[in-house]
Amino acid sequence: MKTYDAIIIGAGHNGLTNAAYLAKAGLDVVVVEKNEYIGGAAVSRELEDGFLYSSCSYVCSMMRQVIHRDLDLTKHGLMLVPYLGTVAFGDNGETLTSYTAEGPAYNELRRHSPHDADAMFRLLADLDRYSTLIRKTLLRTPPDPTKFRIRDINELIFLAKTFGELGETEIYEYIRFFTMSAAEFLDDYFENDFIAAVMATPGIIGTALGIDSPGSAYILLHHVMGDVDGNIGAWGLARGGMGSISKALAGALMEHGGEIRTNAGVSQIRVKDGVANGVVLENGDEIDGKIVVSNLDAKRTFTKIMDPKDLPPGILKKAQNFKIRGSSGKVNIALSGLPKFNNVPDNRYINRGGQGFVGSLRTLEKAYDAWKRGTWSDDPFIESVIPSAWDPTVAPPGKHWMSNFIQYCPPELADGPWTPEKRDAFGQTVIDKIERYSPGFKDLIVHMEVRTPHEIENEIGLTEGNIFQGELTIDQLLFNRPFPGYAQYRMPVDKMYMCGSSTHPGGGVSSACGANAAREILRDLKLGNTVPEDDCYDD
Amino acid sequence: MTQYDAIVIGAGHNGLVCASLLAKAGRRVLVVEASPSVGGLASSREFSDGFRAAPVHSVTHFSSVVAGALNLQQYGLSFNPSCPTIGLAEDAAPISLHGDQVWGVGGSDTDAYAEYRQKLLRYGKAISVIWEKTLPRIGLAGLRDSGVYAQAFMKMRGLGGEDMSELVRVLTLPMRDLVSECFEDPRLQALLCWDGLIGSKMAPRSPNNAVLPLLLRMNGESGGDYVTPKGGVSALVDALAACAKAAGVTIKTDAPVKNVTIEGSEQGLAAVGVELVGGETISAPLVVSSADPKTTFLDLVGAGNLEIQFANRISRLRSKGYVAKFHAALSELPTIPGVDSLEGRMIIAPDMDAIEFAYDEAKYGEASESPVMEIAFPSLHDPSVAPQGQHVLSAHVMYAPYDEKTGWSDEARNAFKDRVLATLERHIPGLGALIKGSELLTPLDIEQQYGATGGHWHHVELALEQMMMMRPTHGAAQYATPIPGLYLCGAGSHPGGGIMGAAGHNAARRILK
């Protein structure tokens, strides 16, 4: 029977990236995927005739440009289209359009507050500076500060130097970004509640924190450090849906001779004498491999597909304590036409990007309060986008589909587990809210898919439906991700690695985790490094 | 008229510590205090006929370095043995903690507790070097003094790889995660959350800012257990005042400062003295403020004398208090079912959600519907605060937002007080009948009566970005300020918060250097 050089568990975008780089380096690799389709959470699915939903992740910004180019993803069909001009809606009928051109953007802010229009320049400049810096760490393996190996010391020096270049004063300011809450951080910039709320929303997406929780300012940074073609902070759509990213990565993998097996869920990682040597599939088949790479989240990897006997003491406890909290829902809606929204001029250039149903700082925080109590808010934060307004390939002519991301949605309800009825009630809350801002919206609905953390976990395999494969709090970042001592992609079992978003630099469709893990694997195999280490697109 | 070398603003414990150390080094020191008595938040006042209380009711981590440097024992300071912390419940027997032991919870929690506490004490010890030193600026500017960082790093390394990385991980955990990783009993979880949260705008789920202050509190000799000075909190104040006087410090009470006198010259601005509200001006080449940073810079110095970015950083400091203080005059000591001795402290917080949900209301400017609290009976340690045979109940109550949405109207205050009383009555049946008088101090009251901006215990929030070499903010974090001749020595400076004395001590050391 064939022995692969590497088996990668899970055909999400990081698994595919990892496999593509290993294949490119000449390894014989196979990716095993439990679903019949690849892509994990970066997927396009036709659940209604002619409508192609990006059913989980829906916009793209964190994808490392250098990987995009290095794996020649454009050749494999990937095309990123910036989408611009989101309209945010407030509790009292206010709207805020984010124009791309500086002039209109400034005037739009001035409508609400001249002070904040000026403050926005300051915030954007700060965000730009801080994210440029953090981007330098994304394609690097974190050091282990408890070890005195040359590479760890070098990496610590690199980090110290990178941050040191900010200068003393800036470092103090930067630290605020890592520790504060989004609301308090922004309070230093804005006086207008609505503008502060709009700018705070990236601080809560995907996380079990509120805008008022310390730590949410970093989540905000995490969401604005991406770029589309070098435009930092910009977000884009993948033509053909997020599945196009996975398809292109799979194309790169195939080009280098890699294999993908779908409908091949792994029931166990096989370990002999402390060395991983293959996997056992759910159907009983076994695949031999010289190394095993798990793209599943850290909790799932250690608690579901490994025998505790194979693990050194303490690891299981670390995995159980790993914070991976479901906090988001997704509602995908097929529409018979483009919806119109209250107080938005009938101008196709204004409202083509997205809609942010933000409300106010209080509404956002109240939504988190509901999550804490094991329920969902009747006035949740919804971030929407209508990809078909930009991309004609994802809906029939004249028709549209709308992606709605909801923060918050609990992984489990206070009154028991999710049921189809409760799921539908959640969906109803979402469309009721949109209807308030877009009278007649419900009449446009052709089809609707509601995904709570329960559905996300069951289908995609993300524990609790956490979109980042683990909370992005300081205790789980950099050399602490997923666990202290295991942040360099090697796991406690020999020949076993992790390459998912549970590892540095964390969640988002970035391909960075998969690429970094590939680099470490090639290093262990004493093969030359073929994985890019820097993403200095902006330097 | 006496010439002074230094004027210390505020006779709180940090001001007294700093003044004494300066005087011991030969400086002629004047302390000016706005109120009629010394002690700041530790000074007791009469709140009901014959009954006295201070906002502070325990002294768990007064610095032994400071006590030693001032030889406070000689002035009568000694501490009672530590007492248990007791978790009260409405319909169940209480649980209690003391040292490494816990009573009233399941076996697995009992076993886990000693390990948990020892782990935290170990971590606290590894980083303890940072609390009693000035923390230098980062980068080249602070290189000369950066030995303290190297020392802390080596101590952390000394824990071993596994423990060191665990310390780094837990430092930013929310209390909820820290304790739920180790314990199952909801009341024990809530009880253990308490010391990570009290005094700050924090709830069990709030990350980043709980563990470091918790380790600071556990750094005292009792390891975080409840301790009072012999003779009560006032004994500490008396000892500090006696020490200051013996060292030659002049203390002037009822002398609120109107502003710090700033004089300009070709060399720039400099602090040259203070002007009192009464009109008197006193000059000295050195002015040391133990008032909170906002009061010091925005009220006493004035933003006009500060570089704009520095002034902005001071005004953005987070310093809104969320803890109210409740005092009750009792005709006799109540009995609490299941509690033998009331000398310790009692906590009313049935589980972590109760604390979290109480906090949720405060976020929106509402006082908690179901408050959680820490109770003590100071009269057991200091009989002088109540008439013979009678007692005082003292409680820290969370959460009471400084900026309550009605601005703490009488209605809001009374309603909140009623809820506090009702909660107490449910946990201490019959208490209501013993109460002869009571007062509730909201953070707004604490600000007005004690001068601490926002009514904040710690002057500025003990949050990571406002701690250590960033406390209160860069440019003033090494006790010296942008104004030559003006120094900070209060809780708003490193290490800040609690009755510790280290800020006053470090400031004096910095000034004398």
pLDDT in tens, B221-240: 899 999 999 999 999 999 99
pLDDT at A351: 65
pLDDT at A536: 56
Contact A168 B138 (CB under 8 A): yes
Contact (CB<8Å) A164/B173: no
Nearest CB partner across the interface for B356, out of A187, A215, A372: A372
Measured CA to CA in angstroms, residue B225 lies from B222, B228, B348 at distances of 5, 10, 17
- Give contacts of B207 with chain A, Cβ < 8 Å: 209, 213-215, 473-475
Given a contact cutoff of 8 angstroms between Cβ atoms, the answer to whether A44 and A244 are in contact is: yes
Task: Compute the nearest-CA separation of B488 from chain A (Å).
Answer: 19
- Smallest CA–CA separation between A161 and chain B, in Å? 10
Query: Beta strand pairing status for A400-407 and A381-385?
Result: antiparallel
Q: Which residues contact B399 (CB under 8 A, 6 or more apart)?
A: B322, B323, B358, B359, B361, B362, B367, B368, B371, B372
User: Contact A341/A444 with Cβ under 8 angstroms?
Assistant: no
In one-letter notation, the amino acid at residue B321 is: G
pTM: 0.96
Predicted pLDDT at A83: 80
Across the interface, of A147, A168, A323, the residue whose CB is closest to B141 is A168
Residue at token pair 């590497």? A6
8 Å CB contact between A531 and A516: yes
* Contact status of B138 with chain A (Cβ, < 8 Å): yes
Which ranges of chain B have pLDDT less than 50? none
- Three-state SS letters, B80-138: CCCECEEECCCCCCCEEEECCEEECCCHHHHHHHHHHHHHHHHHHHHHHHHCCCCCCCC
Measured distance CA(A419)–CA(B351) in Å, rounded: 28
From the CA of B331, how many Å to the nearest CA of chain A?
41
CA-to-CA distance for A387 and A403, rounded, in angstroms? Answer: 8
Spans in chain A with pLDDT lower than 70: 229-230, 232-233, 348-351, 535-539
Q: Round to whole Å and give the CA distance between A204 and A213.
A: 9
Interface check for B88 against chain A (CB to CB < 8 A): the answer is no
**Which of B405, B464, B478 to substitute to test the interface with A, most A CBs within 10 Å?**
B464
Q: Tell me what ipTM this predicted complex has.
A: 0.95
How many CB pairs below 8 A link A and B? 91
Report yes or no: B122 at the A interface, CB cutoff 8 Å.
Answer: no
- Looking at residue A260, its amino acid is I
Distance from CA of A179 to the nearest CA of B (A): 6
Is the Cβ pair A214, B170 closer than 8 Å? no
What residues of A are in contact with residue B205 (Cβ under 8 Å)? 213, 372
Report CB contact under 8 Å: B169, A475. Answer: yes
What are the start-end ranges of the H helices in B282-351? Answer: 293-294, 308-315
Measured in angstroms, the CA of A482 and the nearest CA of chain B are apart by 11
Is B364 in CB contact (< 8 Å) with chain A?
yes
Q: Identify the residue whose tokens are 């007080």.
A: B417
* Separation CA A491–CA B163 (nearest Å): 19
- For residue B169, what is the nearest residue in chain A, using CA coordinates? A475
Give one DSSP letter per residue of B334-353, joined into a string: ---TT-S--SSEEEE-SSHH
Residue A460 corresponds to which tokens in the numbers above?
Answer: 């995609």
Residue A310 identity (one-letter amino acid): D
In the numeric block, which tokens belong to residue A438? Answer: 């877009």
Give the separation between CA B368 and CA B382, rounded to whole angstroms. 31
Cβ(A65)–Cβ(A229) under 8 Å?
Answer: yes
Bridge partners (DSSP) of residue A292 are: A7, A496
What is the per-residue burial (b if ≥16 Cβ within 10 Å, else e) of A251-267? Answer: bbbeebebebeeebbbe
**Residues present in chain B in total:** 513
Characterize the bridge pairing of strands A286-294 and A275-281: antiparallel
Give residue B95's Cα distance to chain centre.
26
Contact B321, B297 (CB under 8 A): no
B356 phi/psi in degrees, rounded to 5: -60, -45
Contacts A115 to B, Cβ<8 Å: none
Helix (H/G/I), strand (E/B), else coil: A41 = coil
Residue A172: how many other CB atoms lie within 10 Å: 20
- Note the pLDDT of residue A539: 43
Q: Do A168 and B364 touch (CB under 8 A)?
A: no
**Omega before A37 within 30 of 0, i.e. cis:** no
Instruction: Report the chain B residue with the minimal C-alpha distance to residue A478.
Output: B169
Determine contact, residues A290/A3, Cβ cutoff 8 Å.
Answer: yes
